[in-house]
Amino acid sequence: PMPAVYVIEDAAMNAFATGRDPEHASIAVTRGLLNKLEYRELEGVIAHEMSHIKNYDIRFQTIVVVMVGMIALLADWMLRSFWWGGGRRRRSDGGGSAIWAIIALIIAILAPIAAALMQAALSRQREFLADANGAVLTRYPEGLASALEKIASDPEPLEAANKATAALYIYNPLKDLGGTINRLFNTHPPIEERVRRLRAM
């Protein structure tokens, strides 16, 4: 089925897909995207978003977010039980649970970080997949490659940008931080790499 299409009245260039499955999907594009891209570039962007719908990426991302949230809750529970219950156990077993307390503390600290890294890595791979599927759908990879370059170089900031929805967009509307560590947490691959892969198709 044809997804519903919406226009966001914003001069910035961006787009996203949403919906729990192809029967309940929507694509939103900004007014800036419609005004600034040529037909073949816009076709590439729409094909990219349709690929997200076809691949059930919104449902997939929802499951990943829930799993990350569960890991964060479990880590929080472990930290709280360490702080509030650890002293009683240490006194009653002569210090034998100190090792378990240290292990619990390490897991409580590292698990949410590992989960966030996993979520970002999966998101980056889904972007590459949507790029490739979109290029196959249009049979013109250059259209999406050119669109991505234009979107990335557009100086107009997206007015409605926030951390909660940034991963949905074809291009992260928030400034990606440089550096190796920060790149590990980015939800989108570097535009240069996306364009390189598209032009190699």
Of 23, 49, 142, 159, which one is the catalytic site residue? Answer: 49
| Tokens at 13, concatenated | 């260039």
49 given a catalytic annotation: yes
Give just the sign of the alpha carbon dihedral 190, 121, 127, 49: negative
Please state, in angstroms and rounded to a whole number, the distance separating the CA atoms of residues 5 and 29: 8
HEC secondary structure over 55-96:
CCHHHHHHHHHHHHHHHHHHHHHHHHHHHHHHHHHHHHCCCC
Which amino acids are annotated catalytic? 49
